[in-house]
Chains A and B, each alone.
Chain A
């Protein structure tokens, strides 16, 4: 138990569906992240939120839409995805305001399969 909870753990969706991934952190952190992990590729940072403001968007297609309603919750809204978007999506959090001296904690991930 890392203090970062992701739901659902597994999701299968069609290319025309709309679904959302949810992340909740119980660590009192003020920065949250979405990473994408595909087979044989390094983890890719998708989005960074700090104090509920998006501070980084790493050229992610608009079919991925993040939302951070408060410092404890982060969503990734999915719409008209492609099969190549199938991957493990990892949420993470850290105490970003204190800089690099803080560890990033990861959730267990949501396995997404697009059919």
Chain B
């Protein structure tokens, strides 16, 4: 069965600083990987996804993530954080189940941005 680990529960960065959120996965086949963001009181919004091809994927809001098979990682990065990026970030690995896509999520990383 697949699993996802997000080792950092909370991260605080200054506005304008760079950001890296860590994600490690466990999956027996080629992984399908996702990053979602959840603002307070809201649902989850997809930031980016990796299925195949280029291991550096670009997403919305200036985010990118790099798939490293050797490290079983899919870390999320942003070169310059904005105050509006404060939210909770979830990494997920996808598997196909009975005609639907099943996502297994990590426990999330809460990002705080200091002005």
Chain A positions near chain B (C-beta within 8 angstroms): 2, 4, 6, 30-31, 33, 40-43, 45, 48-51, 55-56, 90, 94, 96-97, 99-109, 111
Contact = CB atoms under 8 A, between A and B. Distances in A.
Nearest to A40: B107
Contact of B43 (A33, A101, A103, A107): A107
Nearest to A98: B101
Contact of B90 (A4, A43, A45): A43
Given A2-B43, A2-B45, A90-B43, A104 B96 contact: no
B98 A102 contact: no
Nearest to A41: B107
Given A2-B45, A105-B46, A109-B42, A55 B98 contact: yes
Main secondary structure of the interface of A (DSSP, over half): mixed
Given A108-B42, A108-B43, 7 more contacts: A30-B99, A33-B100, A45-B103, A50-B98, A56-B97, A99-B101, A101-B51
B32 interface: yes
Counting chain A CB atoms within 10 Å of each CB, the highest count among B42, B45, B101, B105 belongs to B101
5 contacts: A31-B99, A45-B103, A94-B101, A103-B34, A106-B43
A107 B42 CA distance: 8
A103 B46 contact: yes
Chain A to chain B: the 7 pairs with minimum beta-carbon distance, closest first: A55-B98, A50-B99, A31-B100, A96-B100, A108-B43, A106-B43, A106-B44
Given A2-B43, A2-B45, A100-B32, A42 B97 contact: no
